[in-house]
Amino acid sequence: MYLTTEGIYGSILGISATFVFMFILFGAFLNASGAGEFYIAAAFIMVDFLGIPCLKIYRVIIR
């Protein structure tokens, strides 16, 4: 009874585990394809475009 969808591990836990797995899978795909670096570079370009000083300092520290 506790292993069915009506027990302790109900449908909400199953749905949340599915979404966690999908986000992990998506992150692994971005890491393997190199798209993650593209998104980080795009974020740095936006920081340069906005001209916010504290973000520029953070960018220098990261690199």
More confident residue, 62 or 48: 48
- 48 domain-assigned: yes
| Within a domain: 4 | no
Q: What is the pTM of this model?
A: 0.53
Number of domains, the chain: 1
Which domain covers residue 53, as residue numbers?
Answer: 11-62
Q: How far apart are CA 41 and CA 24, in angstroms?
A: 21
Q: Report yes or no on 57 lying in a domain.
A: yes
Residue 39 lies inside a defined structural domain of this protein: yes
Please choose, from the candidates 29, 28, 60, 33, the residue with its C-alpha nearest in 3D space to the C-alpha of residue 47: 60
User: Tell me: the pLDDT tens digits for 25-61?
Assistant: 998 998 899 898 888 888 878 877 777 666 666 666 6
Label residue 55 exposed, middle or buried (CB < 10 Å: 0-12, 13-18, 19+): middle
Instruction: Establish if 42 belongs to a structural domain.
Output: yes
In a domain, 41, yes or no: yes
Residue predicted with more confidence, 63 or 7: 7
Locate 40 and state its tokens.
């980080």
Residue 23 lies in a domain: yes
